[in-house]
Amino acid sequence: MFPSEALFPLTEEQREIQRTVREFAAAEITPHTAQWDRDSYFEAALVKKLGDLGLLGMLIPEQYDGLGLDALTYLLALEEMSTHDASVGVMMSVHNSLPTQMILNYGTDAQKERWLPPMARGELLGAFALSEPGSGSDASSLSAQAVHDGDDWIITGTKSWVTQGTHAGVILAMARTDTPDARRGGKGISTFIITPDLPGFNVGKKEDKLGMRASPTVALNFDEMRVPADRLLGTEGMGFIYAMQSLDHGRLGIAAQALGIATAAAEAARAYAAERRQFDQPIKDFQAVQFKLADMASRIASARALLYTTARAKDAGQTITQFGAMCKLLASETAMWTTTNAIQIFGGYGYVTEYPVERLFRDAKVTEIYEGTSEVQRIVIARELYPRS
C-alpha cells in the first residue's frame, strides 16, 4: 500500500529477488524477530543461508561467486529484508556495501581471489572498523597505530561500534600508518584486512542497545596484533579515502534499510487504523489519522524516489557523495518520523511489545546515527555546495 512501482517499474529479475527475500524472511526470520530482539540474539546460521541465496554477494562479480547485480537491485532486496527484520537488514548492508566492496574496488587480484568467494557464499561474514572510543564523526582523528615489523605490521588500538564484529570472519579496519611525530591527518591512515585468528585480536565489550538488538555491536581490541604484509588493502596512506568512498555507497544501504523500517511501520499503522474503532467508527475515518498516513506515504515516496534515482546514477558511474548523504538523511528522518507517528496511531498499543511498531521505532533511531550521523550527512551535503578550489 506504500508502492513505488507506479514511479519505478521493476524488472522481472528485481521482482523475483524481492519475492525470494519475502519468502525467506517469512519462513526463517519473522517468526523469531520479536524473540531475537528481546534476547539480543544473533542467529549465526542465517549467514550461510543468506549466502546460499546470493544475498551476501549481490554486488560481487560472478567470477568471485557473487551475483554481479546492479546497485538498485541490491537496494531493493535490502529494503525488502528491512521491512521484515532490520537487524538482518544491517547484516546484509554492512557486508555487501563495505568490506566486500572495499576488497573489490581497492584489493589486489590475489586479495579478491582469496576473500571474495567465501564472502559471497556466506562462509565469511564481513565487518567494517573505522570508529574508535575517541573518534566517531571526526573519523580521521582515529588513533589505532600500525607499525612495520619486518614485512609484517603490528597494530595496537581499539575499534568500536563494529556491527557483527562478534561473528565476522573478515574485518576491514583502519589504522594510522604515519608516525606520532609526523601526523598526516586522513593521509596517514591505511586499511587492513583483519581476521579473528591473528595473534593479539580480541573481541571486546558487546553493547546493550536500544534497537537493532539482534545485530551484535562490539568493540575490537588489537593488542600488538601481528598482521602479514599481504593484508594491507591497496596503497598505504589511502585507507581514509577508501573508507569515505565506501561510505558513500554504504549510506545508500542504510537509506534502503530506513525505508524498509518506515514502510513496515506505515503499513502496520494503515492496517490498524482500519480495524481499530473509537467513537463508533474506524479511526481511519478521522482526518487526524488520515493526514498522518498521507504524510507517511508522501515522505516514503520522496525518500524512495531519491534513493532509486541515486542508485541509477551510481550504476551509470556517477560520483554520488552528495546525493548518497541526502538519501541517508531523508530516509532515516522519514523512518524516525514515520515510526513515531505509527506509535501515535496505535496509541497505548503502540507503546507495548504486543505490536511491532515500538521495535520499529527503536530500530529506526540508529539509522540517524550509524554510517555518519544526520549532522555529518548535512556537512557532506553542504560542503558540496561550496566546492574546494
- Angle at which helices 99-106 and 239-275 cross, to 10°: 150
Regarding 367 and contact with ligand CAA (CB under 6 A), the answer is no
Regarding 380 and contact with ligand CAA (CB under 6 A), the answer is yes
Bridge partner list, 153: 148, 227
Phi, psi at 208, each rounded to 5°: -100, 105
Our CB check for ligand CAA shows the closer of 122 and 216 to be 216
- The interface mask with ligand CAA, positions 110-139, x = CB under 6 A, is ------------------x-xx-----x-x
Which residues neighbour 165 within 8 Å (Cβ) at sequence distance 6 or greater? 127, 129, 159, 171, 203, 216, 217, 218, 219, 220
What's the rounded Cα separation, in Å, for the pair 25 and 2?
19
Regarding 308 and contact with ligand CAA (CB under 6 A), the answer is no
- The interface mask with ligand CAA, positions 134-153, x = CB under 6 A, is ---x-xx-------------
Phi, psi at 174, each rounded to 5°: -100, 135
Catalytic residue among 80, 333, 358, 371, which?
A: 371
**Cell (9 digits) for 218:** 562490539
Instruction: Determine which residue in the list 33, 101, 177, 321 makes contact with ligand CAA, applying CB under 6 A.
Output: 321
> Do 335 and 329 form a contact (C-beta atoms < 8 A)?
no
CB of 365 to ligand CAA, least distance (A): 13
Q: Sign (positive/negative) of CA torsion 373, 374, 375, 377?
A: positive
What's the rounded Cα separation, in Å, for the pair 142 and 37?
31
Our CB check for ligand CAA shows the closer of 154 and 241 to be 241
Our CB check for ligand CAA shows the closer of 18 and 245 to be 245
Residue count, binding to ligand CAA (CB under 6 A): 24
For 108-208, list the strands marked E by DSSP.
Answer: 126-129, 145-149, 152-163, 170-176, 189-194, 201-206
Give one DSSP letter per residue of 2-57, joined into a string: ---TTTSPPPHHHHHHHHHHHHHIIIIITTTHHHHHHHT---THHHHHHHHTTTTS
CB of 161 to ligand CAA, least distance (A): 5
CB of 132 to ligand CAA, least distance (A): 10
In this structure, the number of other CB atoms found within 10 A of the CB of residue 44 comes to 12
Q: Which stretch binds ligand CAA (CB under 6 A): 55-63, 297-305, 338-346, 368-376?
A: 368-376
CB of 60 to ligand CAA, least distance (A): 19
Instruction: Determine which residue in the list 61, 169, 186, 282 makes contact with ligand CAA, applying CB under 6 A.
Output: 186
Amino acid at 104: L
- Angle at which helices 287-315 and 239-275 cross, to 10°: 150
The question of whether 80 is a catalytic residue gets the answer: no
Our CB check for ligand CAA shows the closer of 110 and 385 to be 385
CB of 323 to ligand CAA, least distance (A): 11
Regarding 101 and contact with ligand CAA (CB under 6 A), the answer is no
Our CB check for ligand CAA shows the closer of 241 and 305 to be 241
Instruction: Determine which residue in the list 125, 232, 247, 259 makes contact with ligand CAA, applying CB under 6 A.
Output: 247
Regarding 200 and contact with ligand CAA (CB under 6 A), the answer is no
Regarding 94 and contact with ligand CAA (CB under 6 A), the answer is yes
> Do 26 and 96 form a contact (C-beta atoms < 8 A)?
no
Regarding 370 and contact with ligand CAA (CB under 6 A), the answer is yes
Regarding 86 and contact with ligand CAA (CB under 6 A), the answer is no
Three-class DSSP category at 238: coil
Instruction: Determine which residue in the list 244, 305, 306, 313 makes contact with ligand CAA, applying CB under 6 A.
Output: 244
Comparing CA positions, the residue from 282, 258, 249 lying closest to residue 337 is 258
Q: Which stretch binds ligand CAA (CB under 6 A): 17-25, 111-119, 160-168, 278-286?
A: 160-168
CB of 351 to ligand CAA, least distance (A): 28
Which amino acids are annotated catalytic? 371
Catalog residues that contact ligand CAA under the rule CB under 6 A: 94, 128, 130-131, 137, 139-140, 161-163, 186, 240-241, 244-245, 247-248, 321, 370-372, 376, 379-380
